[in-house]
């Protein structure tokens, strides 16, 4: 999912909801991890593609491009109609911990290009009608295409008006699950990048504690780098169970982890 910490102002944000009649991408099966094992495994058996070194591309750019082209999750996401390979991370997490349930109200922070919102919408039934339909509200300062049943805000999450706008589209102004795959634009300085990313995670936690119903859940990207322990301690003050996980779809060489906090305890609104 794309970065979500800065961007030029584009005037008043206008939420938009895709109509359910819009062609939907293939929805993940109930056992999404099984689907991933078969399809991704098949992609891994394909011949590796090597990228020719273009005159204007750096060595690191060529390496990234070659890794991207040969990534089995990238290939699988194209076949399955998902917006990004990150969709499989949420599939793998939710298949194991069962966070997303039919009828749930979900907020997706840093949602572009929409991979997590796609999965959340399918699993909570956001495109359905009736009182048991789920709700998904997504936000990112980057524009991305509509998703059936998802309300999308093109707005920086750190904008002071963002929290109230997100809550205004949920039943009773509360959420059952807050998702965050936010990442700050990198500077190339490891320590600085880590601090900025963890700052986003802390902002997401603060918002989650403001909007979640008792018993609610929070899933967020974090990075290893020395301060994630402080983040866990903060979460343990508000949630009954806190876990660190690295789903199979997360690249082995990446420092990213995902924190899953369940059983939200309301202390003070």
C-alpha to C-alpha distance for 204 and 150, rounded to whole angstroms: 20
Quick check: 38 pLDDT over 70? no
The tens digit of pLDDT for each residue in 209-233 reads: 999 999 999 999 988 765 577 888 8
Q: Which residues are catalytic?
A: 221
Task: Tell me which H or E stretch contains 236.
Answer: helix 228-236
Q: What is the pTM for the complete model shown?
A: 0.77
60, containing H or E segment: helix 59-70
Query: For position 166, what pLDDT does the model report?
Result: 98
Specify the pLDDT at position 135.
Answer: 98
List Cβ neighbours of 126 (8 Å cut-off, separation of 6 or more): 106, 120, 133, 134, 135, 136, 148, 149, 150
Beta-carbon count within 10 A of 195 CB: 15
| Domain covering 84-264: architecture | 3-Layer(aba) Sandwich (3.40)
**Rounded to whole angstroms, how far apart are CA atoms 67 and 74?**
10
Q: Are strands 212-223 and 135-140 parallel, antiparallel or unpaired?
A: unpaired
Q: Are strands 212-223 and 175-180 parallel, antiparallel or unpaired?
A: parallel
Summarised one tens digit per residue, pLDDT across range 46-57 is: 445 554 555 565
Which residue blocks in 19-114 are alpha helix, DSSP H?
A: 32-44, 59-70, 72-80, 86-97
**Is pLDDT of 258 > 80?**
yes
What does the pLDDT look like over 98-131, one tens digit per residue? 999 999 999 999 999 999 999 999 999 999 988 8
Residue ranges covered by each domain of the chain: 32-80, 84-264
Report which secondary-structure segment, H or E, holds 197.
helix 190-211
Distances (CA, A) of 69 to 43, 50, 66, 103: 11, 9, 5, 37
């Amino acid at each position: 999912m794309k970065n979500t910490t800065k961007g030029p102002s584009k005037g008043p944000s206008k939420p938009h909801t895709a109509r359910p009649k819009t062609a939907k991408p293939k929805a993940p099966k109930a056992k999404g991890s099984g689907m991933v094992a078969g399809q991704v495994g098949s992609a891994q058996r394909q011949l590796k593609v090597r990228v020719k070194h273009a005159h204007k591309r750096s060595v690191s750019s060529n390496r990234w491009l070659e890794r991207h082209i040969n990534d089995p999750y990238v290939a699988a996401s194209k076949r399955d109609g998902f917006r990004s390979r990150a969709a499989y991370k949420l599939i793998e997490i939710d298949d194991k911990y069962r966070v997303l349930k039919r009828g749930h109200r979900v907020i997706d922070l840093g949602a572009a290009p929409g991979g997590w919102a796609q999965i959340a919408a399918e699993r909570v039934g956001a495109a359905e009608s009736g009182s048991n339909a789920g709700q998904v509200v997504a936000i990112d300062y980057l524009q991305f295409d509509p998703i059936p049943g998802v309300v999308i805000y093109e707005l920086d999450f750190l904008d002071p008006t963002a929290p109230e706008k997100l809550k205004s589209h949920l039943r009773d102004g509360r959420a059952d699950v807050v998702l965050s795959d936010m990442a700050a634009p990198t500077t190339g300085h490891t320590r600085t990048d880590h601090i900025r990313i963890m700052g986003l995670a802390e902002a997401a936690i603060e918002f989650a504690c403001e909007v979640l119903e008792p018993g609610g859940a929070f899933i967020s990207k974090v990075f290893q780098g020395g301060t994630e322990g402080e983040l866990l301690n903060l979460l343990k003050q508000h949630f009954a169970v806190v876990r660190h996980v690295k789903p199979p779809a997360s690249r082995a060489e990446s420092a990213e982890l995902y924190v899953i906090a369940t059983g939200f305890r309301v202390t003070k609104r």
